[in-house]
């Protein structure tokens, strides 16, 4: 496994997006834990979760608790694993998502996440989404307070614009270490945010990094088949999965990129973890553009 950095911490170049383990159509706990363990076995040292990753009402923190149990049951050393969680969104149980960015809510949410994860401080705490009803500086200020209190070691922001990144950097200084925006073969509208992160030395964590590339080609997966793209062509020529090509393409976009593909089964994360070893040629990268 190759490594990149988030703040001062080295992490695997590919992380595990744990959301599929807790939301709609989630696997049973045995398979969910096996998926986390497969990630760790493959050298993954970044796990992305959130307090809002759950399915039913009253399950706040389901994914955080699951990740904590999986880490506790792992037979190897997990001291180098960075668990990144998020606060500021909710799920009332009807399939919808809410946004709450008040400082009081974010501070309470962080304290609750800390208890569920069972650590002395949250390694990376990310504001899940800007709340249009709350001034951005107030929401980010809550992260500053959490840093100062030692509740979190580093802060991140998600679903943000370049202006919001710049303002957050002014409030948090070096405490801001990451930005998590949607970016994939199918969705590339965060290019400006990626380049700003590059200039500021912030890690850029693309969420839903396999958008446009179906998982259905992997063993045991299901769903609509996507095919015929340049990613599939390169994958066929290389004898690897299109998912590996998509992740290798993302890694080639910038040295600050750390993709966090979701996985609901061990085979998925094992495949994704091979992407850092796939070096794409200039001609292949040009085709993928």
Active site residues: 53
SS3 83: strand
d(CA 209, CA 188): 10
d(CA 124, CA 105): 18
Q: How many CB atoms lie within 10 A of CB 174?
A: 12
| DSSP for 215-251, written as a single string | STTSTT--S----SSHHHHHHHHHTS-HHHHHHHHHH
How is residue 100 written in tokens? Answer: 């709450």
- Phi/psi region, residue 159 (left: phi>0; alpha: psi -120 to 50; beta: rest), is left
d(CA 101, CA 88): 5
DSSP state of 6: E
**Would you tell me the crossing angle of helices 103-117 and 62-73 to the nearest 10 degrees?**
30
**Would you tell me the crossing angle of helices 162-172 and 136-149 to the nearest 10 degrees?**
40
Radius of gyration of the chain (CA): 18
């Amino acid at each position: 496994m190759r490594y990149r950095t988030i703040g001062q911490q080295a992490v695997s170049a590919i992380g595990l997006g744990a959301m599929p383990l807790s939301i709609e159509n989630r696997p049973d706990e045995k398979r969910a834990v096996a998926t986390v363990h497969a990630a760790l076995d493959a050298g993954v040292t970044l796990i992305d979760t959130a307090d809002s990753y759950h399915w039913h009402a009253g399950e706040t923190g389901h994914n955080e608790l699951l990740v904590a149990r999986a880490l506790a049951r792992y037979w190897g050393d997990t001291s180098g694993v960075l668990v990144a969680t998020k606060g500021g969104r909710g799920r009332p149980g009807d399939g919808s998502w809410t946004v709450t960015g008040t400082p009081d809510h974010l501070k309470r949410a962080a304290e609750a996440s800390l208890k569920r994860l069972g650590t002395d401080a949250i390694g990376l705490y990310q504001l899940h989404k800007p709340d249009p009803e709350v001034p951005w500086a107030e929401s980010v200020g809550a992260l500053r307070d959490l840093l100062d209190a030692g509740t979190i070691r580093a802060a991140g922001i998600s679903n943000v614009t370049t202006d919001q990144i710049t303002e957050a950097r002014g409030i948090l200084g070096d405490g801001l270490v990451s930005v998590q925006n949607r970016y994939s073969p199918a969705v590339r509208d965060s290019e400006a945010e990626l380049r700003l992160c590059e200039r500021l030395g912030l890690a850029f964590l693309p969420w839903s990094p396999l958008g446009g590339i179906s998982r259905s080609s992997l063993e045991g997966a299901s769903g609509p088949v996507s095919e015929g793209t340049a990613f599939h062509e390169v994958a066929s020529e290389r004898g690897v999965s299109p998912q590996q090509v998509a992740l290798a393409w993302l890694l080639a976009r910038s040295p600050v990129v750390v993709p966090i593909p979701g996985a609901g089964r061990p085979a998925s994360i094992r495949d994704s973890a091979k992407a850092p070893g796939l070096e794409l040629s200039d001609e292949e990268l040009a085709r993928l553009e």
